[in-house]
Amino acid sequence: MVKSRSGSTAPKIVIVGGGVAGLVLATRLGDTLGRRGRARVTLIDRSWVHVWKPMLHTFAAGTWNIYQQQVHYLAHAHAHHFEYVPGQVDSIDRTARHIRLAPLRTGTETLAQGGDLDYDLLVLAFGSRANDFGTPGVAEHCQFIDSQDQAEGFNARLRAQVVRSLAEGGHIDIGIVGGGATGVELAAELSRMVELASSYGGTDIRHRFRVTLLESGLRILGSFPEKVSTSVLSELRKLGVDVRSGVKVVGANPGGYLLDGGETIPASLKVWAAGIRASSSFDQSGLELNHAGQIVVGADLRAKGDQHIFALGDCATFLPEGGERPLPASAQVASQQALHLIRHLPAFLRKGTPVPPFRFQDFGALVALSQYNAFGTLGRFGFFKGGFIKGRFAQLTHAVLYRRHQLTLHGPFRAALLWVAERINALVQPRIRMS
């Protein structure tokens, strides 16, 4: 049984990170425990809004309405009986069981002063970011799309490049490093953006766009089955994307990328979508971390060596019993871990019932190339038994993932209204972001 150290009967649950896992967890615990006064649930995130991270590449390309897909933490917290605190965790005092928030700033303006928060139970779900591996010039010259702000920043630069090309001529060279799902889907989405922009009339800019995708591995989508990888490669090349695998980027500068061996890849817009690293650093916390800064957790999703801290999603690493490698950093894993804690934390808090071991169910993997195509495999269950899928069925399956996320957050009625609103807006609004 977890008791509040403040003497209150309601323990304090603090959740750090409002991504796929963190927001679902705060929502459901708020509805079940917060509403009845059985726990005080607090969500901390440095942003004011939540967006589904697998959609960030569409916001970067400007092919989805970013404002329509946002969930505002403050309003959502009020509706679901938890507290939202804007901020970023600076340090964790595991002995005193409190966390310190750093001042939250944007540019020269301070949005929140920071401070301390006590916890009885801490859940770390602060996500991940791309890993530049210390490659010279990447931090200074490359764009990242790990958050809404970064996706919007890239889109603003992209639109500026398009305007400059229309006014002055010249090519728009975009170089993407990382042949995983993010890099691959961004390349296809950029092709879709150019196609839509050209359909509005005026100058056809398709011949001015040159997209290069660089991957250090022997093939793109190395974590996917080879059939998916080869199918996606063929589709990208049909779209005009120059895919280069087996190449190592050793530097970035204002003009492009430098490859091992001396070759230069020109790119006025550079995107780094390779590798993965925990998005916050807690090196001084004493928690066990792997080489990517992810928190090592046991089968019950508790951080190794601490009875009061859970970690889930991309910021955590878990090696299942008998597994050859840790679970991947994916929305599928994060969602299942959040639902696991939603089911078992109430009994853990109330009676001290141990959280049972987490067991991941692999429902397959999908990659969607905008409106052009989608490829993937289904999990080994039901009729399909892990079969390869493509085309319209794969696209619909991919779309269902986001609808399920909305359903989990909002319930069936509000999720249905959001879908209807999207359809209506699609009829009256431009299909790409124009300003």
Question: For the segment 351-364, what is each residue's pLDDT rounded down to a tens digit?
Answer: 899 999 999 998 88
As to burial, measured by CB atoms within 10 angstroms (0-12 exposed, 13-18 middle, 19+ buried), residue 182 is buried
Determine the residue type at 198: S
Q: What is the mean pLDDT of the chain?
A: 90
pLDDT computed for residue 364 by the predictor: 86
Sequence-separated (6 or more) residues with CB below 8 Å from residue 395:
368, 371, 373, 374
As to burial, measured by CB atoms within 10 angstroms (0-12 exposed, 13-18 middle, 19+ buried), residue 141 is middle
CB-CB neighbours of 307 under 10 Å:
10
With cut-offs at 50, 70 and 90, classify the pLDDT of residue 349.
Answer: very high
User: Shortest CA distance to 329 belongs to which of 125, 25, 184?
Assistant: 125
194-221 residues labelled b (16+ CB within 10 A) or e (exposed): bbbbeeeeeeebeebbbbbbbbbbebbb
- Rounded mean pLDDT, 90-108: 87
For the entire predicted model, the pTM comes to 0.92
Tell me the per-residue pLDDT of 302-312, one tens digit each, with 9 for 90 and over. 999 899 999 99
pLDDT computed for residue 5 by the predictor: 62
Distance CA 43, CA 151 (A): 23
Determine the residue type at 223: S
- The CATH number that domain 12-130+277-351 falls under is 3.50.50.60
pLDDT computed for residue 384 by the predictor: 52
CATH fold group of domain 138-274: FAD/NAD(P)-binding domain (3.50.50)
CB-CB neighbours of 185 under 10 Å:
25
pLDDT of residue 282 exceeding 80: no
pLDDT computed for residue 380 by the predictor: 62
With cut-offs at 50, 70 and 90, classify the pLDDT of residue 75.
Answer: very high
- Rounded mean pLDDT, 226-233: 96
In 128-272, where do the E strands start and end?
Answer: 128-129, 172-177, 209-215, 242-245, 249-253, 256-259, 264-266, 269-272
- Residues forming CATH 3.50.50.60 domain(s) in the chain: 12-130+277-351, 138-274
